[in-house]
Chains A and B, each alone.
Chain A
Amino acid sequence: MTASLDERLVGTPEPGREPAAGGGTEGVQTPFRRFASDFLEDRIATGALVVLLALVFIALTAPWISPTDPYDLAKVDVMDGKLAPGETSFDGSVTFWLGTDGAGRDLLSAMFYGLRTSIGVGIMSGLIALIVGTAVGLTSAYYGGRVDTLIMRFVDLQLSFPAILVALMLVTILGKGVDKIIIALVIVQWAYYARTVRASALVERRREYVEAATCLALPPRRILFRHLLPNCLPPLIVVGTVETARAIALEATLSFLGVGLPVTEPSLGLLIANGFEYMLSGKYWISFFPGIALLITIVSINLVGDRLRDVLNPRLER
């Protein structure tokens, strides 16, 4: 699915660009290979991609690779609470490589589970917002006129308020819960996607290939989805990565403030909040390590997004 998607978006003819003057890979130069080799030219971005894939792998397999189950009350012992990194448990059976939190949970395991929640919420909300925003943006650009004015007024209005304020308003109204946080993040984000898609669709709409498609009397649906949308994808993918990183950070912030995810679904933000009360007594690790995990996640997504922007932008000379 991803491969075909990438193939289509890089495979579109771009005027003034030579078809792949050898990117280091042997054999047939498929558009996807060219895209991949372009991406991998940058060592920092490649490293970030590897880290990101590792984090996603941890998030997907958290229940199986965690040393202990941090939410199995039978296995968690308060006697193990607030142990420093590297200490072993009260009965000597487990080593807590990153220490334990106030309730005696293994911090490393709790972080794996937290990463699962954080990345899951970020990707889910990013994906839904992408679909909603793309639909609205394409509609706006294709029909133009009053529809366009109305939609864009609304988008501008929403974007004139800071994201944290909109999010806070929404979680106050919706309440706690994973589904509600995702809804709130989607409402915060969709406007960015809508604006991006509209901007590039307005440019693409005036191109000859759309004119040709219109002359062939193709139905609007086909023109929208088979002609306009694939050509609007590059900026959309870049915005998608950046917005997903922002969604993860925003969710962590809300959870830290105690208005985000419920205690039963601890994300990295909530783990950090839990460690807050112990920090003044010098037990830094409970907040420190989940924060590092959050930081690595956000930075690696941003670095990958930066590189995607460079690779997908045909106007940029490389």
Chain B
Amino acid sequence: MSVFIIRRLMQSGIVVLVMSVLVFFGVNVIGDPVDMLINPEADQEDIEATIRALGLDRPIHEQYWYFLVNALKGDLGKSFIFGEPALKLILQRMPATLELAFAALIMSVVVGIPLGVYAGLKPDSWASKSIMAGSILGFSLPTFWVGLMMIMLFAVMLGWLPSTGRGDTVPLLGVPVSFFTWDGLSHLLMPALNLALLKMSLAIRLTRAGVREAIHQDYIKFARAKGLRTARIIRVHLMKNILIPVTTVMGLEFGNLIAFSLVTETVFAWPGMGKLIIDSINNLDRPVVVAYLMITVLLFVLINLVVDILYSVLDPRVRLQDIKA
């Protein structure tokens, strides 16, 4: 077991290192931030002073070495635009993104699973067919366009919900959250629903497939033969067996939600990391772009590592196969 974990840890380390090379060299080849950042009226001396201050006069491999050494110390460089540490900027915006992704996850599970169970129990009914058609739409509709249409309908035409931004927040353990104020919730509802649509469709399809499969199993037939009420069979016998795989998959999708939140955040002007990265790309604010990409790479490598280790604990075949290979 420890051999497996050590191997996986080393692999993850290599992945992060390779990605850091790709990201840093890639991002630093594009555009010349000097042109963008320096006041056109500045004289030559000012320009050179700024270049030195930003470290742009060094050869690129030297810049990378400093980046790597500093990154290990937790310093990912200063934003050209804000003049603040990039890591701090991202961490400041992370709670907003996590909140959005979390709300979307809850929403997709709470809505998706019951709909999926219904569609699985009554596959031929009119409502089930609508649910399944809706889930196909959920997969096909581009997230950003749905977001725009939601703003148009609920904010511009009906005026029920605020169109953009984040509402009032209340600090919870030092982190601002919008779950406890009406204003915060009303701002959160639309973006969260927008982000949730894709995962909701996924939850519906997974649950339906699970129900369709489980309903023909012997233990369900036996429960029926015992004369249990249908509601009890569904709640106790069916749900218990379906929920495990569905929740596992949905949990794994959390990382995906964080990545996709950058689209939703841009549409709804939600002040999270996703909006920061898009703004930074357009402003050629390289340290922030590099820091964001490195943090997300790290996040995903960690998620994958945890999943791999969990799987190998649950299913010993995985790690045996790996050691052999």
Contacts and interface: CB of A to CB of B under 8 A. Distances in A.
Q: Is B one of A's binding partners? A: yes
Nearest to A163: B259
Contact of A257 (B31, B151, B157, B263): B263
A298 B278 contact: no
Most buried by B among A161, A249, A282: A161
A164 B260 contact: yes
A162 B255 contact: yes
B149 A288 contact: yes
A174 B27 CA distance: 8
B217 interface: no
Interface residues of B, number: 44
Given A164-B259, A252-B142, A172 B281 contact: yes
B263 A279 contact: no
B201 interface: no
Contact of B148 (A168, A172, A259, A276): A276
Interface residues of A, number: 37
A55 interface: no
Nearest to B280: A172
B156 interface: yes
Contacts, number: 110
Interface stretch (B66-74, B132-140, B205-213): B132-140
A252 B260 CA distance: 14
A242 to B, nearest CB: 10
A67 interface: no
B204 interface: no
Interface in B299-314: 300, 304
A165 to B, nearest CB: 5
A269 B163 CA distance: 21
A164 B26 contact: no
What 3 A-B pairs have minimum CB-CB distances, sorted nearest first?
A173-B26, A162-B259, A291-B145
A293 B289 CA distance: 33
A247 to B, nearest CB: 12
B142 A249 contact: yes
17 contacts: A149-B325, A164-B260, A165-B259, A165-B300, A172-B27, A173-B27, A174-B26, A245-B140, A252-B144, A253-B142, A256-B144, A259-B281, A272-B148, A280-B156, A284-B152, A284-B156, A298-B142
A272 B144 contact: yes
Contacts of B143: 253
Interface in B7-66: 15, 22-23, 26-27, 29-31
B248 to A, nearest CB: 16
Contacts of A272: 144-145, 148
Interface in A104-148: none
Interface string A294-308: 110011001000000
Interface of A: 149, 157, 160-162, 164-165, 168-169, 172-175, 245, 249, 252-253, 256-259, 269, 272, 275-276, 279-280, 282, 284, 287-288, 291, 294-295, 298-299, 302
B29 A173 contact: yes
B266 interface: yes
B30 A279 contact: no
B263 to A, nearest CB: 6
Given A279-B151, A280-B156, A298 B140 contact: yes
B282 interface: yes
A287 to B, nearest CB: 5
Nearest to B296: A165
B141 interface: yes
Interface in B252-282: 255-256, 259-260, 262-263, 266-267, 277-278, 281-282
B293 interface: yes
Nearest to B258: A162
A165 B163 CA distance: 26
A304 to B, nearest CB: 12
Contacts of A162: 255-256, 259-260, 300
B176 to A, nearest CB: 26
Interface in B93-150: 136-137, 139-145, 148-149
Contacts of A299: 136-137, 140
Nearest to A296: B140
B26 A168 contact: no
B282 A258 contact: yes
Contact of A291 (B29, B31, B149, B255): B149
A86 B304 CA distance: 53
B156 A291 contact: no
Given A252-B144, A284-B156, 6 more contacts: A164-B262, A173-B30, A252-B145, A272-B144, A291-B142, A298-B141
Nearest to B137: A299
A155 to B, nearest CB: 14
Nearest to B143: A253
Contacts of B142: 249, 252-253, 269, 291, 294-295, 298
Chain B CB within 10 A, most for which of A172, A269, A302: A172
Contacts of A280: 151, 155-156, 163
Nearest to B157: A282
B278 to A, nearest CB: 5
B262 A169 contact: no
A160 B304 contact: yes
Given A162-B259, A257-B278, A175 B140 contact: no
Contacts of A164: 259-260, 262-263
A243 B76 CA distance: 36
A123 to B, nearest CB: 18
A185 B116 CA distance: 33
